[in-house]
């Protein structure tokens, strides 16, 4: 299977609700990941455009954010490379909106889609990587540094991810060790003007077990990404997991039990803002006082009480520094 003259698709890597990811070989011999997002409905078209807007906004590379090499618009048998120029004036973006949101896009058997050519990550996602290995506290702290740096970079670029979860964090090998890459920006929001920390959004979206309380209520800011990171960090540090209902796959995540029902932490806090979270949840896995305090702050019901992405980075560095001194 080929994607134009430049890429030869080798195999399918994963399939989600909205698209498929393949491993491909570029004409240059470099392995790449290719994500196909069909645009056969208004919802799918909107997700494809969101991902294009977010990845196009990231003009500077960050080691912990997936890098878009190019985006290709397919209209039937025609392939059109999309420009990474200004989002406000780029004629290619206007072409995308016309083609994907126009009437022609929704005809039966339409083959309109966007292909995202991105860097290839050979370590799978964060779930697969961590759950196939023994618990490593040093690696956990290293990953916390990387993820906080990625979110700080995104917020500085006025991007709110809105769907941070282990499935959307990829792992790439490097001589210095595993490198995390935040990916999947289909539910992200980009801010064109003003401070992203003051930006209020009223559209509920995300994945239940990582959603902040205010996301359930539908009025929120970039602090929802901090809450999601708190859930990921907590699950990662204690290896807390649940089984996804549809696939029965084991996933990293935190929840509260009500009989046979698993209640996401954010939903439980929405229903009871005074709820005190039991951190650590697993008594066999002790957490330092610094980590416990950090998680409590990140998972605060009131988003104003959560650290922003920049102070979070500093707090994680302080926790690591303090822990290193205590071990000396």
Cβ contacts of residue 17 below 8 Å, gap of 6+? none
- Which residue among the candidates 40, 90, 136, 163 is catalytic per the annotation? 163
For residue 148, say if its preceding peptide bond is cis, omega within 30 degrees of 0. Answer: no
Q: Is 69 assigned a catalytic role?
A: no
The structure tokens listed for 174 are 């490097």
119 sits in which H/E element? strand 113-119
The Cα 223–Cα 231 span in angstroms is: 13
Q: The sheet that has 68-75: what strands, in order across it?
A: 2-3, 7-15, 20-26, 31-38, 113-119, 68-75, 78-82
CB 131 within 8 A of CB 252: yes
The Cα 104–Cα 91 span in angstroms is: 19
What residues are annotated to the active site? 163
């Amino acid at each position: 299977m080929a994607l134009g003259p430049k890429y030869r698709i080798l195999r399918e890597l994963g399939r989600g609700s909205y698209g498929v990811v393949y491993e491909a070989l570029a004409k240059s011999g470099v392995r790449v990941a290719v994500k196909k997002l069909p645009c056969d409905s208004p919802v799918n078209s909107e997700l494809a455009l969101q991902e294009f807007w977010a990845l196009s906004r990231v003009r500077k590379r960050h080691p912990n954010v997936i890098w878009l090499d190019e985006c290709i618009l397919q209209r039937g048998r025609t392939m059109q490379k999309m420009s990474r120029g200004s989002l406000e004036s780029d004629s290619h973006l206007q072409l995308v909106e016309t083609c994907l949101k126009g009437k022609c896009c929704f005809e039966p058997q339409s083959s309109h889609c966007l292909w995202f050519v991105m860097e290839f990550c050979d370590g799978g996602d964060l779930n697969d990587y961590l759950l196939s290995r023994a618990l490593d506290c040093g690696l956990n702290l290293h990953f916390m540094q990387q993820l906080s740096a990625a979110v700080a970079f995104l917020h500085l670029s006025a991007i709110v991810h809105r769907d941070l979860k282990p499935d959307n964090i990829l792992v790439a090998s490097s001589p210095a060790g595993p490198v995390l890459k935040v990916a999947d920006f289909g539910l992200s929001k980009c801010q064109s003007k003003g401070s992203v920390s003051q930006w209020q959004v009223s559209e509920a979206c995300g994945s239940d077990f990582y959603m902040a309380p205010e996301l359930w209520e539908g009025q929120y800011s970039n602090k929802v990404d901090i809450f999601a990171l708190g859930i990921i960090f907590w699950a990662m540090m204690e290896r807390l997991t649940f089984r996804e209902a549809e696939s029965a796959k084991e996933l990293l995540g935190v929840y509260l039990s009500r009989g046979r029902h698993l209640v996401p932490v954010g939903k439980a806090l929405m229903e009871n803002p005074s709820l005190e979270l039991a951190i650590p949840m697993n008594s066999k896995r002790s957490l330092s006082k610094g980590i416990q305090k950090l998680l409590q702050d990140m998972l605060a019901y009131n988003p104003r009480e959560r650290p922003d992405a920049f102070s979070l980075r500093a707090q994680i560095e302080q926790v690591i520094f303090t822990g290193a001194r205590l071990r000396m």
